[in-house]
A = this chain, B = another copy of it.
Amino acid sequence: MITVKDIANKLGVSPSTVTRALANSSRISPKTKQLVHRTAAEMGYVPNAAAKTMRGKESSLIGLLIPDIENNFYAQIAKAFSEVCNSHDFQLTLAVSDDNPAIEERHIRQLVAARCAGIAIVPTATLTQHSVALLSSRNTAQLIRRNSALNTDWYGIDDVAALRSATNCLLDLNHQRIGLVCGEPALNSGSARYQGYLSALQERNVPIDPALIMRGPPRTHFAQAATNRLRMLSHPPSAIIAAGAGLSEGMLNAVATWSKDDQNAFSLIGYSDSSAFSWWGGSGLTAIALPIHQIAADLCNKLIQLAQDKESKFAQPEDTLYGSHLILRGSVRPYKDISGSVP
């Protein structure tokens, strides 16, 4: 591989002149600059990022650590990061934790070893102590989920409002028994969504049936099982809300195995809209739509800004909340009592 030294030798100048010319320093004569640039291009010079990192203390890598990449929600985040990184000449490293704290720690160690300029993380509910320690002195920000052990910026959704509006939508259509598939209490996102659901019911004095509330790990598998359990209840709900991106996937996987009649017996609401939801079931899946691209892009920009501004590094961490809105599709229908007790 060609190095600055090779270019310098070929041109009979010193390596420093070459670097400065390539960096467009004002202290190099225009002729020299042009010559260096041309020669570098001719020789196929590509700077060595590792060497640059060595001197500068930090690489131009931005780390993104997410639980899943197959889920469209996280894919959208990755897309936004890719775009922002590219436009600022940073490079994206993707790490997938599969919601496993051990794998997560492994990835964090790698990201720190790479001296990433910034790290964005959707943390698991139970970050290991090592993970916390590794991240503590680095430029880090949390996305969607917020782990209080991490003293960082957080970019998230106003989930209380999001779930309240989803629940209200169903209440407006006379649903009274609304199933909720939700993240476990250890997840702040799960708790906020749960609170939103609860408060909507309470405001209307609708009785709360704990049997309708399924809380567990934010995984597809759990949601699939939970959704099937809701269906099998002796007194089942008439509607189900999946309060998470992975959970929505699980819910839909479950429903896909049901009979047509059963499918029609439940109104459904998913979390984080995706284009696949508009195809769903012929009439589409009603879903909570999030400005997720915007959130991810904002966060990525913030990380890059923090990496570049040495001063702003000592600012207090802030929380940034984003709103959401409901997209109504065919999966939500007005409740009709089929028991016959009321005309």
Chain A residues proximal to chain B, CB less than 8 Å: 1, 44, 46-51, 53-54, 59, 61, 68-70, 72, 75-76, 78-79, 82-83, 86, 89, 91-96, 103, 106-107, 109-115, 133-134, 249, 252-253, 255-256, 260, 263, 275-276, 278-282, 284
**Cross-chain contact of A280 among B72, B75, B279 (Cβ < 8 A):** B279
Q: Are A94 and B115 in contact (CB under 8 A)?
A: no
Q: How long is the Cα–Cα vector from A252 to B280 in the complex, in angstroms?
A: 10
In the complex, chain B residues whose CB is within 8 Å of the CB of A107: 86
Q: Are B91 and A93 in contact (CB under 8 A)?
A: yes
Query: Which 5 residue pairs of A and B lie closest in terms of their CB atoms, listed nearest first?
Result: A50-B53, A276-B276, A82-B96, A94-B94, A282-B282
Given A44-B133, A48-B115, A253-B275, A79:B86 Cβ within 8 A: no
Q: Are A61 and B113 in contact (CB under 8 A)?
A: no
The smallest C-beta distance from A321 to any residue of chain B, in angstroms, reads: 24
Q: Are A106 and B92 in contact (CB under 8 A)?
A: no
Given A113-B49, A134-B46, A75:B86 Cβ within 8 A: no
In the complex, chain B residues whose CB is within 8 Å of the CB of A48: 54, 113, 115
Q: How long is the Cα–Cα vector from A93 to B49 in the complex, in angstroms?
A: 14
Q: Are A70 and B72 in contact (CB under 8 A)?
A: yes
In the complex, chain B residues whose CB is within 8 Å of the CB of A281: 279, 281-282
Q: How long is the Cα–Cα vector from A115 to B49 in the complex, in angstroms?
A: 8
The smallest C-beta distance from A106 to any residue of chain B, in angstroms, reads: 7
**Cross-chain contact of A54 among B51, B70, B111 (Cβ < 8 A):** B51
The smallest C-beta distance from A92 to any residue of chain B, in angstroms, reads: 5
In the complex, chain B residues whose CB is within 8 Å of the CB of A256: 278-279, 284
Q: Are B112 and A61 in contact (CB under 8 A)?
A: no
In the complex, chain B residues whose CB is within 8 Å of the CB of A59: 50
Q: How long is the Cα–Cα vector from A78 to B75 in the complex, in angstroms?
A: 10
Q: How long is the Cα–Cα vector from A255 to B284 in the complex, in angstroms?
A: 12
Q: Given A69-B78, A91-B114, A253-B275, 12 more contacts at CB 8 Å?
A: A48-B113, A54-B54, A70-B72, A82-B96, A83-B96, A86-B103, A92-B93, A256-B284, A260-B282, A276-B280, A280-B280, A281-B282
Given A53-B50, A279-B256, A279-B280, A91:B72 Cβ within 8 A: no
Q: Are A96 and B79 in contact (CB under 8 A)?
A: yes
| A93 to chain B: closest residue by CB | B93
In the complex, chain B residues whose CB is within 8 Å of the CB of A82: 69, 94-96
Q: How long is the Cα–Cα vector from A44 to B137 in the complex, in angstroms?
A: 11
The smallest C-beta distance from A29 to any residue of chain B, in angstroms, reads: 27
Q: How long is the Cα–Cα vector from A96 to B82 in the complex, in angstroms?
A: 6
**From A83, A263, A280, residue with most partner B Cβ within 10 Å:** A280
**Cross-chain contact of A113 among B46, B94, B252 (Cβ < 8 A):** B46
Q: How long is the Cα–Cα vector from A54 to B50 in the complex, in angstroms?
A: 6
9 contacts between A and B (CB under 8 A): A49-B114, A69-B79, A69-B82, A91-B95, A92-B95, A94-B94, A252-B279, A256-B284, A276-B276
The smallest C-beta distance from A137 to any residue of chain B, in angstroms, reads: 8
| A260 to chain B: closest residue by CB | B282
